[in-house]
Every structure is written in structure tokens, then in C-alpha cells.
Structure 1
Amino acid sequence: MVLPAPPKRREQVVEATQASLQAALLDCTTDLLIAVDIASQQVLHANQTALHRLGYTAQQVCLLSITDIEASLQDVFYWDAVSAGCIQPVYHAEGQFRCADGRLIDVDKRIAPAQGIQNVLLISARDTSARQHIDQELEKSTSMLRATLEATADGILVTDITGRIVNINHRFADMWQLDDDLLARQDDGEILEAMTAQVCDPDSYLARLVDITEDPHGESGDLIEFIDGRVFERHSMPQAIRDHVVGRVFSFADITHRVRAESALREARDEAEQANRSKAEFLSQMSHELRTPLNAIIGFSQILADEVNADQQTTLQYITKAGWHLLDLINEILDFAKLEAGKLSISPETVNLHELIDDCLTLIQPIANQYGVSTLSSLPSPRSPALVRADRTRLKQMVLNLLSNGCKYNRPHGKVLVEIQASEKQTRISVRDTGIGISETDQTRLFQAFTRVGNRQSKIEGTGIGLAFTRRLAQLMEGDVGMHSQEGSGSTFWIDLPTASTAIPAPSMVVPERASSHLRQQYCVLCIEDDPANLLLLKGILGKYRPELHLVTAQTGSEGHAQALEHQPHLLISDMNLPDMTGKDALTIIRSTDRFSNLPAIALSANALPEDIHAGLAAGFNLYLTKPINFTDLIAAVDAMLTIAGNSTE
């Protein structure tokens, strides 16, 4: 049987239980609790939280004065006041505690007399070091963000999810010309009104702003045009915290100078293109105007050659030679103009250099003979020819230009040698002469258009664009042109082009059957030509080489139509520029009659551009010949077309 404890013993147990419970409660809190004797300012007790954070043991802390722990100056003054009997409770005071290892921790404390215990002050403190560190980092980040916003060249506007203005930088205010008084009032509606009043299309600006705001997750970018001519580039993107959109950030860049520069560049480009078009049109027109009289000069001189004595034939040969040379100069200048305007097209193919150079050496022989120069070649065996990727016609033109220069700028009895060095990726065509050479000063200007160098330039025919034209053509073919020369020791010019791996056979040429000069029936040929000299020349050519033909002439398209209905021609030859219509229109009108629906037609024109030729053939002409007239080509064309006409009537 358990007997009840005596009353005194029971009170002691209760007191011990209460003391134990109070100690446990003190140790359970996260606050630092320190009890201090008012008279001596000695620490009487510290809970486990305080001992742990400050690094003391229970025995150590009881040997300390509170001023050993308190580290703030104001705390020292407070405890001086306590010693003088002035005890005032303190609530939420910031201070610092010194740890056993000398470190200082930030605390937020409360000091008040302990209830029910005389001469004891109780300090309740909370460690705020972590919070202050966070506050410091936040302040640092905020300061950095503020500095970044102000340092950027863009205007920055930050809004919340509802579109209310949260923050702007000074650059934004300057760009949008918002004064300090307006910003100080912090009236979003007034600020928006001031901004909208500056743009060219306020309704569109506000509508776009609504679209951006209604799409909280979207990014945007657009341009804003101002009444005063400024242009801003606006970008915006959502501001999110843990994937939750809380607002939007807008950036504004002033691109006025860039837009104006681009506009000026476009205008300059348009002007340059217009200038190129005008130049091309002018050169085309001049080519037509020059070819027309040349047609008469060259044509009549050839017709007269068989009708004059030997001395007069020599004179006529000079006239004919001068006419063809003038035509070459016209073609050269026109080609270069098209190249400069970017309208000269090339058709790359695999070219056999052995065949091409043999052709060039044959063609250049008259010039070589004129200057007393020998032409030689050092070429690969025909069984293993050098192949390049190039435009065959243009490459021949380039090689002929170098060969021509080698002959013209050579010494009497000099030599011009053509060589080929081929590698896997590149093939070089070299033209070496034994001429006068080129000075270093002249070499720097050699590839400039319309520039002629050397002291013999006035004695040698040419425009000064051959080398510049050759280099530009080579570059269009993914190659280049270069040279080396020593004054007095000759020069070597070369063309580098991509090597081709396999040869592609050239398409066979279909030559139309030539009609007999003694035709089985008298054919009627209708010629529409408004220039009297050209018409007379055409009569002379056909009268001399095909006298059995019946030639009917007209000077306008409408007159040609009437002549066709009356004489029932077997062939039409028409100029492309007639007083009342084009040659294309004249052909269309004549062929609209059933009898002439398949009438063979030859275009004969001074419009010699590739696009002119293509347009003529596309209009329905069977052949397109250019002026000045090549007698052989014209007679061959007439024979071929009349053969077609004869076959269709059988």
C-alpha cells in the first residue's frame, strides 16, 4: 500500500515540476533568452538557444557581465542607465551580441523586468543576421537593377499585370518627353495621353497596346512612328515570378538615325539603279543609232567593191575595215555597260581549251600579221585536253582580248605564246608576249575601265575597257585575271578558271538546206524598212546575190500589210522599229490572214541586245539578224526561209 506524501514533500515536488517545465519552455523557443541581475548586471541564466548561438556553456555564461555580450554602443549606455536605477522596457530594439569566438550577430531584442522575480531583467532576442543578409542582398540587387535601368541606352517601362506603371527609367522619360511635374503626379492615364499625342496613328498605337496587355505570356516587337519623324523600336516580354506572370517589361530603342540611313541607302540604290537603267537605255539607243548608218557604210562599200578599179577597192577596204572596227568598239562598250549594270548573263559549260585556243589563234592571225607578230601555243595533247567550267563565247572573247593586246603592244617580229597549266581545281591560261612591258606605275591602273597606259596608247586602237571587262567576266565565272610584267621585257597575262572533270559534247548545229541560186519558181519577198539607205542596201544585196527574187518594199507596217495582201509574199523581212508600229505588230497583223499564218519571217534590226533578240524570236520571227548586215548570214537566212516556204507549197 502506497501512503500519501506528506504535505511539505508534495509542495517541493510541485515546485520542482514547475521549474523543470519553465526551463523546458525556455529551451523550446527559438528566441535567445538571457536573465540578468539588475544590481550586478551579471548573467544569471541563458536558455539553450542563446548558449548555442553565442557559443557559451551554461557555466561560462554565468561568469559574464551582460556588457560582455552586448556589443552596441547604445546598449552600453542603456546598462549604465540600469545601474543608475533607470529601468525602462525596450521593445524591438536592433543591436548586436558578441559570440564566444568574437563574431557579432545582429539581433532584434526586447528587455523588460522579469514578472514575479525581483531585481531580474529578462532579454528576449531574435537573431536577425540571416534576414539582414537577405535584406542587404535585396538592396544590392535593387541597386544593381536601378543602375542597370539607368545605364541602358533604351527607355524602360515596367507595368504590373493590370497595365499600371510600376517603374520607368530616366531614358524613357527623355525619349517620350515626359516632364518631372507630369511624372510626379503619377497619373497613368495622363502619362498615356501624353505619349499617345506624339505618335502618328494614336488609334493603332492604343489598339496594339491593348493586344499586348491582353496576352500576358506573349512577347512582342514593333515600330512606333512619331509625328516629328522619330521612329522607336518597341519590344516587350512578360515579367514572371516562379512561372507566375506579375507584369510586363517594355524597352524602347530610338532607331531614327538607322531608319533614315536605311531610307537614304534605298534612295541611293534606287537612284543608282535608275542611273544604270538610264545608262543602259542610252547605250542601247546609241547602239541602234550608230548601227543604222554603219549598216549603210559597210554594206554599200562591200557592194561597190566588185564594181571599182584596184585603187578604189583599196579605199573601199579601208572604209569597210573602219566600219567593222567601229562596230566592235560599240559592242565592247555596250557589253561593259551591261556588265556594270549586272545585266550581262553567262552560261557556264565544260569548255575544251585546246579547241577554243586553236579557234582564237586562227581568228587573231590577221591582227598578228598586221603588227608583224608570230603566235605560238604550248597546249596539252588533244587526247587529254584541258577542260574548264566557263561560258564558251565569253571565254573566247577574253582570250582574244589578251591575244590582241599581245600583238598590238609587241615589238616588230615579236612573239605571243599561249600556255596552259592545269591542276585538279584550277586551270590557268597564260598569254606571254615579248613586247615593251608595263611600268610599275601603269600596272596599278591597268584594270581600271576606260584607262589606257603606256606611251604608245595614242597609236593603238581601243577603248581601254578590255582588261577591266575580261577581269569582271572571269570573276563572274568564279575565276580571276592577273598579270606580271617588267618594263622592256614583255608581259604575261593569265586567266584562272575552275577545272572541269569531264567533257560535255557540244550540241550539233542543224544547218538549214540552202536554196539553189536558180530557184524553181520566182519567189516574192516583202521587205518593210523605213530607212531609205537601209532599204536601198537590202535591194542591192538581194539584187546582186539573188536577182531572181521578186522584191516588194514598204516603209510602214500598214503599207506592208497592204502589199502582202496584193503580192502574196513567200517571205517577210521586217525592221523592228517602224514609224506606225513595231515589227512585232506588223508580223501579227500580216499573219492574222489565214493565207499568211505560217509565213516565214526574218527580223532585221539595229536593236542588237540579247533581250531584243529574245523578244523578236518570242514574237514569232523565225530568225533575228542584226545590223550592220552580214551578207553571208542574210543570204543564208533568205535561202533557208524560202526553202521552208517552197516545202510548204508542195
Structure 2
Amino acid sequence: MKTPGKHPEEARRLAALETLQVLDTPAEDGLDGLTRLAQAIFDVPIALITLVDDQRQWFKSCYGLDVRETHRDISFCGHAIANDASFVIEDAASHPDFADNPLVTGYPYIRFYAGHPLRPQDAMPIGTLCLIDTRPRTFGPNQQRHLAMLAAQADELLRLHLLRVEEAEKNAEIKHLSSLLRGILESSRDPIYARSLSGRYLTANRACLNALKLDDGPLTPGTIEASTIEASTIQDHLPAPIAERLAAAEQSVIQLGEPERFILPPFNDVVFDVTISPLRDSKGEIRGTVGVAHDITSTQRQAALLQVLHQGITDYQALMSGEQLWEFLMEGLQVLTGSDYALIGEVIDVDERHALKIHAITDLSWSEESRELMVQLRNGDMTLDNPDSLLGQVFAHGETVMTNDLAERTHSGGFPHGHPDIHNYLGVPIRDGDKVIGMYAIANSPQRFDKALLDWIEPFTATCALLINFYRQQAQRENIIAELAAARDQAEKANLAKSEFLSSMSHELRTPLNAILGFAQLLTNSRKAPLNQRQQRQVHQIDKSGHHLLGLINEVLDLAKIEAGHLQLSLEPLSISSLLKDASDILAGIAENAGITLKTRPPEPDIAVFADYTRTKQVLLNLVSNAIKYNREAGTVSLYATLTDARVRITVRDTGPGITAEHQTELFEPFQRLAAEHSTIEGSGIGLAISRELIEHMQGTIGVDSTPGQGSDFWFELPLAANDATQAHRTSPHEQPTPPRQTGRRLLYIEDNPANQRLMEDIIEDLEGFTLQVVPSAEVGLELIRHSPPDLVLMDLHLPGMDGYQALDTLRRSTSNADLPVIALSANTADDDRKGGQNTGFDAYLTKPIKISRFIETLARLLP
């Protein structure tokens, strides 16, 4: 097809655009699979294969966009087409040429764009493979190279489209060959012949003889009868299977009067697509048959190559999960080249030298010793590191090694006795940029190894580079997950051992303390043998020291319980006025005995925090007790509360000696008393550490502000409760309602982070009537939902593979689970992210770290 007035290459480009615009073939699925793969690899919401002419841009394959075409004047792809090069804009909103573009200011709100031109016919570009995101992002050289690799696959798919069109047009022409045979017989490159009803060859063109590798034959223009060739010119040169297949097809055509089309077995390394039609006279009577053979060797090889590459990329995860990827690639390499032997491996560094780790290899064993070697190579227990071998020249030096006569190669080194005969060899390095990351090798192929074969198989080499990088990324991720799991298991074992030890020690220590404190009480209160003043003083000291030791044991066990994750909290609205009054009443006598003035200033009006009553009072009593003990003589301790945003700060101020800045960071560590361990003031150094753990478990913070010589402010902050303070807790934690009970509610948590998984398991464990199931990916979660829908889904947004937004979109498009409640969990706390999550369709959007109170309220709302 040629457009008048156009440059030949421009006319060719426009013809290809016209063909691709209307063509709809099974390979269309390949283009859609490629755009989905590009979207997943680069983690962008939109991936397109575009076609661009002088007026408009339309999408041959579209993933993540509702429209199918745009005007060329506003298209980004036009720039990649015009420059015939990759085109990247990392933030269109700040780009002077694109900031006002309607595709930036309006739907689809493009911020990031990366496009690579498509040239399926090695002529002028006709379109692009492009990536689009609504957020700015960076796009480095490695990512551009990977995009170019995927664009090469798109070129192959589009080229296959055009080849199919070309073949379809040829097939249409074949139907008219019987009437045009006299004029075009000699000009045809396809083998053409005619036979009579008796089987005698009436004519055969030069292409037919060339296919048979015959040098001559009488082929003069004129009537068909004038160009007859005896059967002993043709028939004797046809292999029996081919001659029998042709004869059977001719008999069928003569009997049925309909053409028959079929593919012959390879003949002289060529594959023919043959069409046999009835040869009719002017009256319409069948006089014989006409056969036309079309050489499809190149097309078949190209289609086979494309199939291997397409399946390797699109089925990568399934092949990798079944540990079949490398065997699949090796077997595909053998089929494509007809080779008896092949291997594919990864280049790794061992002792600062390049070595080859075999991933797949054809069995070359010839003895028991060689069989054991093959097993070691296949299992990855052995690597190859000889840089001077045939393989070493490839993986160690990055050379392409090609020979069609291995026996004459002077540096081949020879093979051991019994080794299978190898007559030709091709070793090809697999590169990522300038770095050799792998190699493959083939041997004993029926075809000669040459540069044409190397160029033809280059897409396979590029795909292997892409897959090796994917493989390494997945292996690295699996190693990190394994290390995290091992660290978690080790920590759990250590915590368990510590808890068991402390529990045992508690029992062993409490038993003698029970006797010590019990007899001390008997001695003190004995009426039959009352103690004198000196003995009373001594027993009092025993009792005091015993209770101090008992308190220390309780604090150590309390800290261990918190660290082991066994702390039970009952979170509820808690009145600040009541909390300050309780603490003041309890410690008023101690302050008076120590000569310290205790002042309390409750907030007016009263306010409430969301916290555990017992544990909050424990923290406040600890801080006030410390303020009394470490104060100056006749000093003052003040208690007051202040409100900031959605949090309440409770402060304990003392007039003591103060704490230096370098010592303030050590205060909340266990067993840290600074210089107080040398004083007469009793203490364990654990109270502040316990207080920090308790406050943080209630979603709060704790700290100190101090000036040496002037005193210290110890404070902690807790979330403000939404309830009216007048209805908040004032006397006992048991007077307030606990989280709502549910019956048999099943939750599904989709999260890949082990630490977050464990946190959610602990949270749900404290709630009655709920069960939790955890899965690490959206793909697994959706499959589980399809078979066994839960009552509610908790969805992390940043997941491997399909992210939370894509998973929600898939779920909402299903007919059976479209209304399933889904809560988004994300570390993104910005208002735009929260609003975006809610607008996307999530029923709720909660930020990490999770506020347990808000989480419980959300569950109660969605599961009434």
C-alpha cells in the first residue's frame, strides 16, 4: 500500500498504521498482556501502546485509562515519535511545555510520562509503549533500559500483526492462481505445479525446481501442456512422506472439488504451507490439480520465538513459583535452534572472581562420576569458575563464542573420554548494561551458527537479562523475609525463655519472702513476747527491706510482661480531674511526711483522655512519687493538665536539683538511677521504663524537660477522648463499657510485613467474637475471598505485585463481593492520601501507627 505524494517510508508507516488500526487478531491479547506487565513492573496506574498519525493518537492497548484516543496536538507520545527516542517527563505540572496541557490540568491528570518509540518495520516510528502516573516520580537509566526491552517485545507483537496481514493477502491471491497461472508462473517465488488426473506433472515453475534443488527444467511460456515435466524429474526427488501427503491431498481435491491447505513436514530445512486447488477446463470440468507452496520457515521461527518470549514474561510468576522458569527457557532455546544440548546460568562473584551458577542444563552425563557432577550443577551446589574454558570465555570475559567445527578449535581443551560428540557450539553472554549477569550456550544444532542467527535470537537474550534481574529482586526479597522471620522467631524464643525464667524466679523469690515478711509481722505484733525498742527497730528494717524487694520483683515482672506483649489494657474515656485527685489523695501523706508541698490544679472545665484507668494512675503515681523523693528540702510538687490539639498533656513539676541534658535520654531505660544508686533514696530504676512502655501502648508519649538547679517537668500525653468528660471514668475501670462483642465475625488481613501481621493478630486476640486470617499478597487474598468471603477485609495499600487500590478495584467489579466492607491501612497520613483512599471506594481509611480505639470504633460501625 502506497500513498501518493508521500515519502516511501512515510507511506509505509501510514499503511502500517491503517492496518493495525482495524486489525483484530488473537495476538491482541499479547499486547494487552504486555501493557499489564509494564504496569506491574514499573508500578504505575496507566500503561499504553499508542499509534500516532498526523491528526490523532489512539490506543492499540490500554490499561488503566477510560478513553481510547486523543488529538495529536496535546499528546505526549508525539514528542517521542518526532525525536525517534525515549521521552521522559518526571513532573509535567512543573514543565514549561506541558504545565497547561489539558491532559495535565484535566483527566487523566498526568504528572509523570515515559514513552519509547515503536518501529515494528524498522522504518519510521508509528507509536509508543508509554507509562503514565498521576504522581511525579524519577525514572533512571536502568528503568529506561527495561522500558526499551519491553518496547522491543511490543515491536515483535506488532510485526507479527503485519506479517499475518501479509500472509492473509497472499492466501487470497493463491485462490486466483489457477486463472492467472500462464502469466505469472515464472515470476512467482512460490513453488507452483500442476498435475493431471492420472498424476502426470503438467508444469512446475523454477521455484518448484529450486525447492527440490534441481538446476534445470523445460519451463516455456504458453499453454500448460507446453510446459510439461516428466515425473522422473520431480517425483524421484520427493521424500516418501511428502509425496504421499501431496498425493492424498490431490485425490481429496479431485473428489470434493474444493481446495485443501496444509503444512508439509520440513523439506531441505524449509517449511512449506501448501494449497492444492482443482484445475478446471472452460466447461468447469476438473482436469487435475494445481499446487502452490509458500515458504513459511521464517514466519514459523519468528512466531515460535515470540511465543517463548511472551510466555516467559507473562507467566513469569507462575513459572518461578513452580521452579520451572529456567527449564522453560532452556527447552525453548533448544526448540528454536534445533540444538541437542543447551544450558542457561547466572554470573555471580565468588572470592572476587566471576563464576557461573547453572540454572538449567541438558543432561550430558556419560558415566557415574559425570552423573554426580550434573546433579551438583542442577542443584546449584557447584559453580564453574575456569575463565579459560569454552564457558569461561563467555561468563568471565563477556565474549560471544561461535564455532561450527569444534574439533578444529585449537583452544577448546578437548573433552574427557566417553563425552558425547559435540560438533558446533555457541555461547552468548547476557548483559545488563556493561555488566555480564548470565549466559546461555547451545551445541549440536543442525543449522550453522552465524551472525544472522545471533541477531535473530537477540530478543531472547534481552528477555533473559530482564528475567535474571526479576529473579534477583525476588530472591533478595525472599531472603529479607526469611531473615525477618528468623529474627522474629529468635526474639519470640528469647522472650519466652525470659518470661519462663522470670516466672520461675518470681516463685522462688516470693516463697522465702512470704516467710520473712510473715515472721516479721508476728514478731512485731507478739503479745506473749513483746520486742524491746531496739528489736522493734531491727524487725521494722527487715519488713521495710522485704517489701522493697517484693516491689522490685513486681516491677521486673511487670516490665517483662509488657515486653513480651502480654499487657492487657482496657481503653475508655478517663476524667483528668478524677485522675489528678486520686493521685493527690494517695500520696498526700507521703508528701507531708517528707516536708513537700503537693499542689493539684485540675482543668476547668474537665477534660477526658482515652486510656486505661489503672495503668494511667500507675504512671502518674510513679512520677509524683519520684518528684517527692528527688525534691529539695521543703520543696513543692505541682500537678496540672494542658490541652493541645487532640491530645492532653499531664505534667508533674518539682523543685528538685534538675537533670543535665546528657542524662535525660537515659532516664527511661531500665535500671537507670543515674547517681541516685549511691544515695539513701530507695528505688529500682525500673519505674520510668515501665511508665514509658505503658504510655506508648496507650498511643501516647512521655518525656522530661529539666534545668539543672531549678527542677524538672515530667510529662506524658494521651489522646483526647471524644466523650463528654462528665461521663468519663471517675472511680473504677470496671464501670465503663468494653469494646462491642461480636459473634463469629471473620476478618481477612492482606499485609506482607511480618511485624504488622503480628500486631494485628495481637489486637484481634483481645477482641471477643473475632477471628483473623492473614495473607501476604492481594492476589492470594482475592482468590481466598472468591472461595470463602470474610465479613470484612483489612487492606494494606503498598503490597508486592497488585497494590491495595488495584485489589479494591478488582473486588468492586466482582458481582458477588462488590459490597464487602474494606478498611484501608496506610502509613501515608497526608490529607490528600486519606481523601484519595476514601474517594477510591474504601469504607474507611486508617493510618499507621494504628490507634486501637479508633480501629475498634470503625469495626463497630462497619459490623453493627
TM-score, normalised with respect to structure 2: 0.34
Greater relative contact order, per chain length (Cα 8 Å cut-off, separation 6+): 1
Query: Which is higher, the Rg of structure 1 or of structure 2?
Result: 1
